[in-house]
Amino acid sequence: MKTKIIENIVKILIPLIQVFGIYVILFGHISPGGGFAGGSILGSSIILFRFVYGSEHTDKKYPYKYLMRTVSIALIMYGSLKGMLFILDHFGIDKIIPVGVPNTFLSGGSIIPLNIMIGLVVTITFYFIAILFEEGELEYEHASE
Amino acid sequence: MSQLIQLFPLLSILILLIFGAFLTPLLKRKKIILKLHIAINSLVTALSFITLFYVAKFGPFVFQIGHYPAPFGIVFKIGPIESSIGLMFSFVMTMVMWYSIFSLEKEIKEKRVSFFYILNSLLLASLLGIVYTSDIFNGYVFLEVSTLAACGIIIVKDKKENIKAAIKYLLLSSLGSGLVLMGIAFIYSISGHLNMTYIHGEIIAAASDKTNLLLISLILFTIGLGIKSAMFPMHVWLPDAHTNAPSPSSAILSSLVIKAPVVFLIKIYYLVYGIEFISNSNVFELLLIFGGFGMIMGSLFARRQKILKRLIAYSSVAQMGYIFLGIGLGNELGLTIAIYHMIAHGLTKSSLFLSAGSFIEQTGFKNIEDFKGIGKEMPVTLGIFTLSALSLIGIPVLPGFISKWNLALASIESGKIYLLAIILISSLLNAVYYFPIIINGYFGEDNLDGKVFRSKSKPIKELIPVIILSLVMVAVGFLSGSVINFIKSGISIM
């Protein structure tokens, strides 16, 4: 479905959805929300973009290669940060990372970066799952060329 | 120093996940990916080896994760059983990886090779997690990860049969994990805890007035994990999956993936419910029946197979029957032998699958009757196959014999003499279906007619991992006394 009306409305709608998703991710540690919830909202915005503007245009805008790279880097950073916290905790030096204060944005210690990583991974995974079920194949070959 | 060594179980899982699974999609060149994965797996094997030595010297230890002490945080409990099974898993995985460098590209598309290695790292991390963890829900999460990764290594070949087999496995395995989750829900509603030790305390207090609820959850765990570990009537997914997967995947599936749920089941029996509750229920009789039927029917099914890998897959069903029979005997020796047989079977079956895989790779045939005279064409490979098959049949000194002998002793000890007949019949049936392959491979005028000596044999360089696997298998048989004592020391403190 590709009419001018839908395209224009989606053009207005998508930034709103994305801002809301980012808000849910960033305020996950002091209000309801978090990486998974915010990531699914962000993912839905990219899925909407793809359904309206078609797969070729979207693949140019969000190439498979870069999305995969983002997921991997986010996972590596999540794994190393959380793993480092576990290891530091084992040696009894977890005082490096401060404990958060309620109602203060920059206070959650390591929760904000972890939430951002989860948000990125969930966004892209939701997008990939939607493509897989809608089109049967991730844009594998033509993105890598 | 000892604080550092206690970190190793967590560290090996983290290394596998971060460097094995998450870093690989960023790498482009296949040679680097291969080297990275071999290095990671060898490192994990070394870490498991050090952990084993530490446990042997200083006894078991408890490792806390998650910033909070036991009832809230997750706890890894590393004892002799966990460390020896963990070492076996990582060692077999390393050897299979090594073998797969030379043969994988002949079986799957080049694009999928890095995918295979990613999945294997995920799989090993989750299996080690299942073995090490002492938190029941943490174990469930690792169980799910291992199911999905195992489906991935079946489907990686991208053929029609593979997709069919993987969907069959996915459905049955999801059913199994659903049952396990339901069991956890029942247990949690009774005890309010997820840590195994704390659940045990609550269960003992509640055992008298909530017996039925506990029994239902016990059966849910037994059947759910039984599906995942191919207990006899629930084994239907196994032959398809193991036959159609590429040979390295078959080796991993049958020597690692179906063992980890059994370790989890043993932990649930002995750590969560405790031996008093279990021996008052009839669950051990159930395991004896399923295990005994599995030993005989698995061998009978294997006897009728025409495809080589399918025969070996059905033989796995029979061997899992031995493990369940050992658990079902309910005494200390039986449980020890169940765990010993897990190690023995893991080493044996992986070398069996890898050597069968090299037959198929070099000749292009699948059926057993096409492998007549293969002993002249590929003498070394058939020699490895013969050694492993002899171990499964039960020739003295090899580990298969040790477990059968001790299983017989354990069944006499528990007063169930009729089990001896089942063990004997099953061993004879093993001989019935393995010997024709070996005899037709090495001997017979008609069979060897027109075959050229060593014409199809693989370069010895590519066979080194399989040779190492079979040597370690023989060593486990030779050193069975100390291995069994080590496992026994773990059971007495469980």
Residue A65, chain B, CB below 8 Å: the answer is no
Average pLDDT over residues B466-482: 92
User: DSSP labels for B144-160?
Assistant: HHHHHHHHHHHHTT--H
Average pLDDT over residues B134-156: 92
pLDDT attached to residue B179: 95
For B166-201, letters b (16+ CB in 10 Å) and e give bebbbebbeebbebbbebbebbeebbebbbbbbbbe
pLDDT attached to residue A17: 95
Cβ-Cβ contacts under 8 Å between A and B: the total is 43
Query: Residue B473 — pLDDT band, cuts 50, 70, 90?
Result: very high
Sign of CA dihedral B272, B274, B278, B284: positive
Residues of B in contact with A79 (CB under 8 A): 14, 17-18, 22
Residue predicted with more confidence, B30 or B263: B263
pLDDT attached to residue A103: 67
CB A140 within 8 A of CB A64: yes
Average pLDDT over residues B14-39: 90
- Whether A16 shows a pLDDT value over 90: the answer reads yes
Q: For residue A37, which of A46, A50, A28 has the smallest C-alpha distance? A: A28
pLDDT attached to residue B206: 83
Residues of A in contact with B11 (CB under 8 A): 87
Q: pLDDT, tens digit, for every residue of B425-436?
A: 999 999 998 998
pLDDT attached to residue A127: 92
- Whether B67 shows a pLDDT value over 80: the answer reads no
Residues of B in contact with A94 (CB under 8 A): 67
Q: Which of A72, A80, A89 sits opposite B67 (nearest CB)?
A: A89
Nearest CA in chain A to B1: A91
Distance CA B97, CA B462 (A): 12
Average pLDDT over residues B268-293: 90
CB B122 within 8 A of CB B257: no
Nearest CA in chain A to B118: A72
Q: For residue B12, which of B113, B100, B82, B104 has the smallest C-alpha distance? A: B82
- Which residues in B have their CB inside 8 Å of a CB on A? 3, 6-7, 10-11, 14, 17-18, 21-23, 25-26, 63-67, 111
Query: Both ends of chain A: CA-CA distance in Å?
Result: 28
- Whether A141 shows a pLDDT value over 70: the answer reads no
Average pLDDT over residues B283-309: 91
Alpha-carbon distance A109 to nearest alpha carbon in chain B (angstroms): 14
Q: Which amino acid is at A66?
A: Y
- Whether B352 shows a pLDDT value over 60: the answer reads yes
**What's the mean per-residue pLDDT of chain B?**
90
pTM: 0.92
Residue A72, chain B, CB below 8 Å: the answer is yes
User: DSSP labels for chain A?
Assistant: ---HHHHHHHHHHHHHHHHHHHHHHHTTTTSS--HHHHHHHHHHHHHHHHHHH-HHHHHHHS-HHHHHHHHHHHHHHHHHHHHHHHHHHHTT-GGGSPPP-TT-GGGSTTHHHHHHHHHHHHHHHHHHHHHHHHHSS-S-HHHH-
For B438-469, letters b (16+ CB in 10 Å) and e give bebbbeeeebbeebeeeebbbeeebbebbbbb
CB A97 within 8 A of CB A109: yes
